[in-house]
Amino acid sequence: MRAVAIVGVGMHPFGKFPDKRLRELAKTAVDAAVADAGCKLEEIEVAYVGNAYEGILNGQESIRAQVVLRHAGLSGIPMMSVENACASGSSAFREAWAAVASGLYDVALALGVEKMFVGDTDRTVQAIATSSDVDRTRGTGFTFTGMYGESLRRYMGKTQTTAEHFAKVTVKNRANAVNNPYSQYRQATSVEDVLNSRTIAGPLTLLMCAPIGDGAAAAIVCTAEKAREFGRKPIWVKASAWVSGLPRKGEDLEAVPSAAERAAKQAYEQAGVGPQDLEVIEVHDAMAPAELTAYEELGLCAKGEGARYLDEGHPYLDGDHPVNPSGGLSAKGHPVGATGLAQIAEIVWQLRGEAAGRQVTGKDGSGPKLGLTQNGGGHIEGDAAAQLVHILAR
């Protein structure tokens, strides 16, 4: 396999854009990634597009990749739409990485894009529920917030974690997002405000949950040779790990390792690093409290120790392992198909030292050298349907 460089990333801000169509969100991200890479649009040889709900919400199914990329000026090249629910963006990134690593193509585009704000929350919530096994969940009142709530209540019962800890994650991530121009929320908040916001599915309150929104993110990956040609300092893909969940039923979920744990383990092995080496991390906090279990699944701390890890300050912007400097899903926003690629973009900016206002300093003060993204998608039999972990380095 060949070394793969990320040479360009770009985003459309996350938020509610009632006047923009999917293709317009996509074009902004693609244009920005191409400009960032210093290449020409025509140099892209293959493209993968991650999107989850455009068919159900806006009626465009089947050829989403071609429709949005034609608007961005791309045609003729091989294109494919890929899906893995909330991990659709990193699934597109994975395929683009493999396309270059394999030797099949020298320059590949990965795009994630989603338009979830359609002015009707019920319709959007129903669309989100299609990321479960609908034959089993339909008519059962299943929602992702309900599922997270149940899982968090169980977690609280087994550990010393309190609702205040969950609120603290939101407070940390909202503070980070203040300085992220792509973020849907850009106001700081307090533990008190988070706990006093409307209960969605106890212990989850409104401010702990990722908002409904629209957005896009893109990355251009290429060979070392092409990176030199484009003149952009490359960020290297050191690991690309991808798994689906194993069935985890009943109370004793830990009898089976989670998909996130298994993906992280694979990624560390591929990159030849461990969790202690990570200097900047983006995790899948669709509900802010999930960040605590992500610390554990990534091996940053022991099982059940997520709250302590937070209390000790490690995952803060000035901690030794900053998590979600972008604001994460709960503060930056979570337009499903775009999320995985927004995580990639954030880590690229951090590794380049371009994350003004939210830049982490790295172990030796010269900026971070090694970063990780963890992106989970969907729910099936007690676990994520897909988990992808990427490790990036400058």
| Residue from 7, 67, 171, 220 binding a copy of itself (CB under 8 A) | 67
DSSP label at 43?
A: G
Stretch binding a copy of itself (CB under 8 A), from 94-102, 141-149, 180-188, 366-374: 94-102
* Residue 269 binds a copy of itself (CB under 8 A): no
39 is catalytic: no
Contacts of 90 (CB under 8 A, 6+ apart): 50, 84, 112, 340, 341, 343, 344, 373, 375, 388, 390
Query: What Rg value do the Cα atoms of the chain yield, rounded?
Result: 19
The only residue of 4, 5, 25, 82 in contact with a copy of itself, by rule CB under 8 A = 82
State the DSSP code for 103.
T
In the complex with a copy of itself, the residue whose CB is nearer, 43 or 320, is: 43
Nearer to a copy of itself, 56 or 118 (CB): 56
Q: Is 134 in the site for a copy of itself (CB under 8 A)?
A: yes
Nearest to 11 by CA among 23, 29, 24, 25: 29
Amino acid at 71: H
| Amino acid letter, residue 368 | P
What is the DSSP secondary-structure string of 200-247?
EETTEEGGGBPPP-EEEEEEEEE-HHHHHHHTPPPEEEEEEEEE-PPP
Q: According to the binding rule CB under 8 A, does residue 123 interact with a copy of itself?
A: no
Residue 210 binding a copy of itself, by CB under 8 A: no
Q: Is 247 in the site for a copy of itself (CB under 8 A)?
A: yes
Residue 119 in the binding site for a copy of itself (CB under 8 A)? no
Asked whether the CA dihedral 188, 191, 192, 197 is positive or negative, the reply is positive
Is 90 a residue that touches a copy of itself (CB under 8 A)? no
Residue 84, interface with a copy of itself (CB under 8 A)? Answer: yes
Binding to a copy of itself by residue 104, rule CB under 8 A?
yes
- Start-to-end CA distance of the chain, whole Å, equals 19
Min separation Cβ 230 and a copy of itself, Å: 23
Judged by beta carbon, residue 317 or residue 389, the one nearer a copy of itself is 389
Confirm if 159 and 297 have CB atoms less than 8 A apart: no
Q: Which residue type, as a one-letter code, is found at position 125? A: V
Q: Give least dist CB 52 to a copy of itself, A.
A: 5
120 binds a copy of itself (CB under 8 A): no
Asked whether position 297 contacts a copy of itself by CB under 8 A, the answer is: no
Stretch that binds a copy of itself, among 5-13, 85-93, 146-154, 168-176 (CB under 8 A): 85-93
Catalytic entry in 86, 209, 222, 301:
86
Task: Examine the residue annotation and report whether 12 is marked as an active-site residue of this protein.
Answer: no
Q: Which region among 97-105, 282-290, 300-308, 362-370 touches a copy of itself (by CB under 8 A)?
A: 97-105
Residues 55, 21: Cα–Cα separation, whole Å? 13
Q: Applying CB under 8 A, does 254 fall inside the site for a copy of itself? A: no
Choice from 35, 121, 138, 140 touching a copy of itself (CB under 8 A)? 138
The C-alpha atoms of residue 116 and residue 339 are separated, in whole angstroms, by 12
The distance of closest approach from Cβ of residue 232 to a copy of itself in the complex, given in angstroms and rounded to an integer, is 25
- Please report how the helices 144-158 and 290-297 are oriented relative to each other, as an axis angle in degrees rounded to 10: 60
Q: Any residues with CB less than 8 A from the CB of 247 and at least 6 apart, and which?
A: 256, 381, 382, 383
Q: What are the catalytic residues? A: 86, 334
Query: Contact residues for a copy of itself (CB under 8 A)?
Result: 1, 21, 23, 52-53, 55-56, 59-67, 70, 75-85, 88, 91, 95, 98-99, 101-104, 127, 130-135, 138, 242-247, 259, 262, 377-381, 385-386
